[in-house]
Structures are given as structure tokens and as C-alpha cells.
Amino acid sequence: MSSTVGSDRTSARFPDRSGKRIPDLRADRTTRARIRDAAIARFPQDGFAGTTVRDIAADAGVSPALVIHHFGSKSRLREACDHHVIEVLGETKRQALHDGTYRQGGTLAALYQVMEPITRYLAWALGSGGESSQRIFDELLEDVIGQLRELEADGLMSPMRDRHRQAATLLVMQLGPLVLHEHFSRTMGVDTLSAEGMLTTAPFMLRIFSGELVNPQFLSEVGSALAEVETRGSYSRKRK
Amino acid sequence: MSSTVGSDRTSARFPDRSGKRIPDLRADRTTRARIRDAAIARFPQDGFAGTTVRDIAADAGVSPALVIHHFGSKSRLREACDHHVIEVLGETKRQALHDGTYRQGGTLAALYQVMEPITRYLAWALGSGGESSQRIFDELLEDVIGQLRELEADGLMSPMRDRHRQAATLLVMQLGPLVLHEHFSRTMGVDTLSAEGMLTTAPFMLRIFSGELVNPQFLSEVGSALAEVETRGSYSRKRK
DNA sequence: CGACTTCTTGAACAAACGTTTAGGATCCTG
DNA sequence: CAGGATCCTAAACGTTTGTTCAAGAAGTCG
């Protein structure tokens, strides 16, 4: 009711003394922020309905009533979490554009190394529908499209016909390891979200994207089979 | 309201007259199966905690008490759902091995076309941890490994060093479009889980796996950069 | 038919839930 | 220091939750 500021500034007691408007994502250790972070950690773990206001309050070291006081309701708390994560995502992207991180894998890779809870929340939010889930996906999609365009312009990638759809396909495949990081880590033997894990998995991914795995003959076979289906309407099986 | 259930004359009254133990996944329209299917449809939509026993009961057209009577508890109902989906998965795999479906994309592709609710549940179960989530993933992984081995033997794929990890990487990337099918469909303009959708997305995926997207020079650059990191400990950025 | 088992339900219960309320504690401002 | 705003809590409220219980239909078997 009282403090419904979207991006809560650092410490309500120190109303921005310096003109700094960049939200320092580490320093805002407001109680409000602590509650929000507790929720961001809980929702991916137990789900929205599975997380109780009392759980969040306990994690943040406050009373359940305070959670409601700050965010109005449980679902508005979730909206705040979504908003916050989207903001961090955008901030990371903006920052990644200024140092070299961007060219080495884009926003996602940069995010991995920044804050794990955010990444976890992102993966969860993407999986469990909703409108901000769409917004997150679209934001990531725009990111990939921009990356592709840039790589094309630099001659590092072949120009493609339908860049939008190609980017979407690329994105969902890139997000697979993120959303399923639990299983992925277990199988790979490292935490695939960590820096070490990314170095471990990179060669395997490279081998996929390079096309060195599949035999050219096999590829052209499948390709022509697909072309055939496209021209006709039906699908005639073709072995060997 | 009215206690009449109308048209459903379910055949739960026939114990197992014949020795047939193969679960005919279509024919068991017992009340118990109806409840289970209602749960399979609900859990991915609202989450486990978000789904109430009363919801499931209403969907199945029975009383909440009957749900408990048949499955003991809500969590045991979930276990039954997990078990059922794993069973269907295995059955589909076994069947796919006997017709030609297997060679055209493996179990997943076959499943897509069989039953959508199962696929939806699978995607959800994979995302929300748990032990049967692991079992599902491992089952799929074994599937991919077998596929790779077979393709290698036939000379359609280059032999690889670490087949287990390579398969895991391949799997999580393949599962990306499945788990995020909602966003994927929205962006691609078709239901990517449908037969039509799979034909639409196939060329884009092919273009990724063929390696025709990335410039060979770019690839070798990244590759050598990775090799460099592997030999040293740290990561020295290297542009152009 | 009557006894037996199975399927099914309405009513009720204790626990847990999100949220409200009234008020204490703490800090800022003049 | 007085006054007011803000931060925070304990206790309670009404609702919803998973689950139990006793009993009613309905089919099976002798």
C-alpha cells in the first residue's frame, strides 16, 4: 500500500544521496530486497503454489505479515520477482555490450557467471507459463537475433533466410541445458552453470554446432527427404 | 449434484480373466485411469501443489474421496502418474524399435505423435525435480546413446570420444524445444508438438546440426581458444 | 435370495494457507 | 522533544487444503 516502487532503491533510509541511478544489484540489502531474493530462491525450488508466504518470511528472517505489507499479496510478490529478474537480465545485457563478454556467448553466458539464483529463477519462469514468461523469452530472442545479425555482418556466420525463426530454434536449444541444468550437471559430472562447467560442456556443444558429428551423406538424405515432404503433402518413408 | 455418472460403464469389474499382462494403454478406461489421466493433465498446468485433489476429482467426474481411496494420497497419485508416463515411454520405445519410426528421430519423435498429454507431463516432470524425474531423463539418455551407437555403426555419424557426455549434451538440446514448446510454438507460428509443427521446425534444426550456419574459420577460432584454456588454467580473452 | 466384495459418496475434521488487524518499535524531521 | 511516518510483529480470521469416516449403491458368488 505504501511503498510500491517498482525498482526499490538501495535502503529506504538513504534516499538517493548520490545521483547514482544504476541499480547496484548487490548493494540493495533492503529488507524488501531480502524478501524478494528469498522468494526468487524459493519459487524455482518449490513452485509458486508450493512456496508459502511463511517459508519466504522465515528465509528472509521476518514475519509473514511483513511480506504482505511490502508486496501486497503473494502473487504481486511473484510479479515483483519477475520484474526484478527481467531488469537484471536487461542490465546484464547492456553491460555485456560494453565489455567483451557479449561476443563470447551473449547475455546468457554473462548471466551464468553473475548470479546463479537469477539464472535458476529464469529457467523456472520460462518453464511455468504466464505473461512475464513470454516477456523473458522474447527478450532473450531479441538478444539472439541481434547476435546473429552481428555475426552475419562480420562474416562469421552464413546469412540465413528466416532469421527470426532460426534464432528461436537456436534459443530453445540453447535454453535446454539451462532449464535442465539439474540433470545435465548430474550426467556431466560438473555444475554446468558454473564457469568450470561451461568450459567442460563447451567442446561437446561445439561439436554439435560444427556439424562434425553427422555424416554429410546422412544429412543430405534427411534434407532431401524433408524437401520431398514439403513439395508433396504426405510423408513417404524411405529407408537406406 | 446428481450422483449419476451417466455414460461410463467402466470395466473395472473384470479382474484379469485372461493372462494378458500387457497394459493396453488405450483401453483401460477404468475410473482409476480416468482419475490418473486427469491428474496427468492437471499437474503440468497448475503444478503439483497448485493442483487440488478436488480439481482432479471434478475433472474425472468423481468425488475427492474416491481419488484418495484409489491412490492413497495425493503424492502417491503423483507417483502413479510418473510410473505410468515412464511405462508409456518404455512401451513407445519398444514399439518404435519394431517399425521404422525409430530411425527418424527416436523415441521422442514417436511420443510426440502418440499422446500429447504424456508429452506435456514429461516436459513438466523433467523440469520439476524428483527421483522419477531422474529416471525419465536417464531413460531418454539411454535412448540417445543407443541411437548414436547405431548411427556410428552404420557410418552415418563420426565416431566420438565421450559418447555418454556427448549424448547428454545432445539430449538437453533436443529437450529444449520440448520443455519450452509453449514459447517455441508461439514464435514459430505452429504447434511445434504437432506433426505439421515438426516438419516446420525440422529444417531449422537441420541447419544447426549440419554446421552450415557457422563459418569454419569462426569455429576453429573458438575451438583453439577453448583448447588454450584447457592447457592453461585461466582464460585470456582473444579478439579477432 | 443373502452374504461378500468392490466402487463410490457426502459430511466432517484438523492442519495449513493467505491475509487482516491493531499496535509496538524505530527512525526522520522540524 | 514532539509529531509523524515507516518498519515490523503477534495474534487472529476465514478459507481451502488433504484426508478420514460411516454408510450407500452395485456387482459377484454360492
pLDDT tens digits for range B107-136 = 766 776 667 889 889 989 998 878 889 999
- Asked whether residue A104's C-beta has any atom of DNA/RNA strand C within 7 A, the reply is no
Q: Is the pLDDT of residue B24 over 50?
A: no
For residue B129, give the nearest of B90, B76, B169, B82 by alpha carbon. Answer: B82
CA atoms within a 13 Å half-sphere pointing along the CA-CB vector of A162: 14
pLDDT at B153 over 50: yes
Quote the pLDDT of residue A101: 60
pLDDT for position B100: 62
Contact A211 B212 (CB under 8 A): yes
d(CA A47, CA A57): 16
Higher pLDDT, A102 or A121: A121
B11 vs B96 pLDDT, higher one: B96
The CA–C1' separation of A197 and D29, in angstroms, is 66
> For C16, which residue's CA is nearest its C1'?
A52
Whole-angstrom CA distances from A216 to A119, A210, B101, B197 are 37, 12, 22, 25
Give per-residue pLDDT as tens, A10-39. Answer: 333 333 323 233 334 444 579 999 999 999
Residue B15 in this model has a pLDDT that exceeds 50: no
Distance B33 CA to D29 C1' (A): 27
Cell of A130: 504466464
Q: What is the mean pLDDT of chain B?
A: 81
Residue B77, C-alpha cell as written in the block: 497419485
Q: Is the pLDDT of residue B231 over 80?
A: no
> Which residue in chain A has the smallest CA separation from B219?
A210
Mean pLDDT of the A34-60 span: 97
Residue A193: predicted pLDDT: 83
Structural contact between residues A111 and A118, judged by C-beta atoms closer than 8 angstroms: yes
**A142-185 tens-digit pLDDT:** 989 998 898 889 888 888 889 999 999 999 999 999 999 999 99
For A183-210, b/e burial (b = at least 16 CB within 10 A) is: bbbbbbebbbbeeebbebbbbbbbbbbb
Is B16's pLDDT higher than 60?
A: no
- Please state whether strand D lies within 7 Å of residue B220 at its CB atom: no
CB A236 within 8 A of CB A228: yes
Proportion of chain A above pLDDT 70, given as a percent: 79
Of the ranges A92-106, A126-140, B75-89, B141-155, the best mean pLDDT one: B75-89
Query: Any idea of the CA torsion for A22, A28, A31, A33, to the nearest 10 degrees?
Result: 60
Nearest nucleotide, CA A61 to C1': D8
* Residue-level pLDDT at A171: 95
pLDDT of the residue at B22: 31
pLDDT of B237 over the 90 cut? no
Three-state SS at B214: strand
Residue nearest to nucleotide D8 (CA to C1'): A66
Q: What SS3 state is found at A157?
A: strand
Q: What is the pLDDT of residue B27?
A: 46
| Contact check, Cβ <8 Å, A173/B48 | no
Residue of chain B minimizing CA distance to A175: B176
pLDDT per residue as tens digits for the range A63-83? 999 999 999 999 999 999 999
pLDDT digits (tens, 9 = 90+) for B171-200: 999 999 999 999 999 999 999 988 888 889
Give how far A18 is from chain B: nearest CA, Å. Answer: 34
For the ranges A38-42, A48-52, A186-190, B196-200, the lowest mean pLDDT is seen at: B196-200
Between B80 and A24, the more confident residue is B80
Chain-wide mean pLDDT for chain A?
Answer: 81
> In this model, does residue B45 exceed pLDDT 70?
yes
pLDDT beyond 70 at B160: yes
Task: Determine, for residues B169 and A177 on separate chains, whether the beta-carbon distance falls below 8 Å.
Answer: yes
Q: What single DSSP character describes residue B165?
A: H
Work out if A202's Cβ lies within 7 angstroms of strand D: no
The residues, any chain, with a CB within 8 Å of residue A182's CB and separated by 6 or more, are B129
Does the pLDDT value for residue B213 go beyond 90?
A: no
**Residues in chain B within 8 Å Cβ distance of A50:** 47-50
Residue A204 has pLDDT above 80, yes or no: yes
pLDDT band at A198 (very low <50, low <70, confident <90, very high): confident
**How many CA atoms are closer than 13 Å to the CA of A137, on its beta-carbon side?**
33
**Chain B, nearest residue to A182 by Cα:** B129
